[in-house]
Amino acid sequence: MYKIAVIPGDGTGGEVVREGLKVLEAAAQACGFRYDTTTYDFGGDRYLRTGETLPDSALEELRGFDAIYLGAIGHPDVPPGPLEVGILLRARFGLDQYINLRPVKLYPNVDCPLKDKGPEDIDFVVVRENTEGLYSGMGGVQYKGTPQEVSTQIHCTTRFGAERAIRYAFELTRKRNKMKQLHLVAKTNVLTYVHDTWWRAFCEVGDADYPEIRREYAHVDACCMWFVKNPEWFDVIVVDNMFGDIITDLGAMIQGGMGVAAGGNINPQGVSMFEPIGGSAPKYTGQNVICPMAAIAAAQMMLDVIGEEEAADRVEKAMIKALGSGKIKSLAAGRMGMSTSEVGDLVASLV
Ligand code: IPM
Ligand code: MG
């Protein structure tokens, strides 16, 4: 019996999570496992009402679950910062979800904006470090609002943090057994301290424990270029938090957009959290027009990580069949030719 915490969050989060849960239920019935969900109302509305983001008690409670399933965080009436930092980053850091795993996989029949590239060219995984770097929250502001204002935001890198992400990525590369190739994406020519730590960890860990894995390196700007020009060059990528944030939005676009891109915030020793990587899409809220495929893909990753691999496999095949059915016209919000719930029904019926 799995215990799953559900945080629908803001905007269209609830609409897509509902469809993901529908598919989860179909998978449970097909594969014969059981689970129990507990829903939490953390998000912009609760924050506006009570000033609360993710209270200490909730963080402690979340540790008791097998997985967390999250919709989206971000509210039009809340300025940037408090919700993202107070809920999303707090969960990631507080639960030590040190890997943000983001597959970039183009499924058949999904529109790709790249000319002459198809599913055989776009199938890689980004391993984004998820607890350090520019996201650490270190730094501050002095003399705010005066001409002398000074602010810093520190790129906090630890050898420990870089190395555990790198080790995870090497293991994943081995497990995928595809090109047996791991890219480090960084900016060693400019970030000569922090990315030198990454570079040495990458080489030392690779030499010592993963001699069969080919190591490649790309500067982050060049990586953006290759994503568009030669995405087939990538197998697994390991990258720091900030650059990982940026390149995975680009990755999402080449796999068909935010309608299909999912991610897992992974603590291999603890509780992990799965989410569609797009935002809360306030302008589509309540219209039942947003694509739930990313949330379904997040549920699929969740199944895989909790150990229900067969169920995960069925869900992925169901997504592929649904996309191949020709019934879904586009993955863009409002242009699917179907409603959010109809897409969920379709995938669930194919599991
Ligand atoms: C993501 C998002 C978050 C991030 C935001 C909402 C804080 O962009 O999950 O990629 O920067 O990590
Ligand atoms: Mg992002």
pLDDT on residue 101: 98
Q: Which residue has the tokens 């001699």?
A: 211
Do residues 117 and 236 share a domain?
A: yes
Q: Identify the band that residue 119 occupies on the pLDDT scale cut at 50, 70 and 90.
A: very high
Are residues 278 and 230 located together in one domain of the fold? no
Predicted pLDDT of residue 155:
98
Clarify whether residues 117 and 235 are in a common domain. yes
Annotated catalytic residue 187? yes
Q: What mean pLDDT value characterizes the chain?
A: 97
Query: Binning pLDDT at 50, 70 and 90, where does residue 174 land?
Result: very high
Q: Is the CB of 84 under 6 A from ligand 1?
A: yes
pTM, two decimals, is: 0.97
One domain, residues 106 and 16? yes
pLDDT over 70 percentage in the chain: 100
Q: Place 68 in a pLDDT band, splitting at 50, 70 and 90.
A: very high
pLDDT score of 311: 98
Ligand 1: does its nearest atom lie under 6 Å from the Cβ of 240?
no
Query: What is the number of domains present in the chain?
Result: 2
Question: 88 in ligand 1 pocket by Cβ < 6 Å?
Answer: yes
Ligand 1 atom at minimum distance from 89 CA? 7
Strands 272-276 and 67-72: parallel
Q: How far does residue 115's CA lie from ligand 1's centre (Å)?
A: 28
Domain boundary among 193, 224, 255: 255
What distance in Å separates the CA atoms of residue 291 and residue 40, rounded to the nearest whole number?
22
Say what the pLDDT of residue 348 is.
98
CB of 216 sitting under 6 A from ligand 1: no
Cα separation, 333 vs 291, whole angstroms: 6
Same domain, 138 and 238: yes
On whether both 230 and 243 belong to a single domain, the answer is yes
Of 255, 279, 302, the residue at which a domain comes to its end is: 255
Q: Are residues 22 and 93 in the same domain?
A: yes
Regarding whether 241 and 327 lie in a shared domain, the answer is: no
End position of a domain, from candidates 255, 290, 305:
255
Say if residue 99 is in the same domain as residue 152: no
8 A C-beta contact, residue 36 and residue 64: no
pLDDT at 113: 96
CATH number at 160 reads: 3.40.718.10
Range of the domain at 339: 1-110+262-351
Q: What span, in angstroms and rounded, lies between the C-alpha atoms of 197 and 93?
A: 21
Task: Tell me how far the alpha carbon of residue 117 lies from the centroid of ligand 2, in angstroms.
Answer: 24
- Per-residue pLDDT, 325: 94
**pLDDT confidence tier of residue 56, bands split at 50, 70 and 90:** very high
Residue 221 is among the residues annotated as catalytic for this protein: yes
The dihedrals phi and psi of 240, each to the nearest 5 degrees, come to -75, 175
Task: Specify the DSSP class assigned to residue 107.
Answer: P
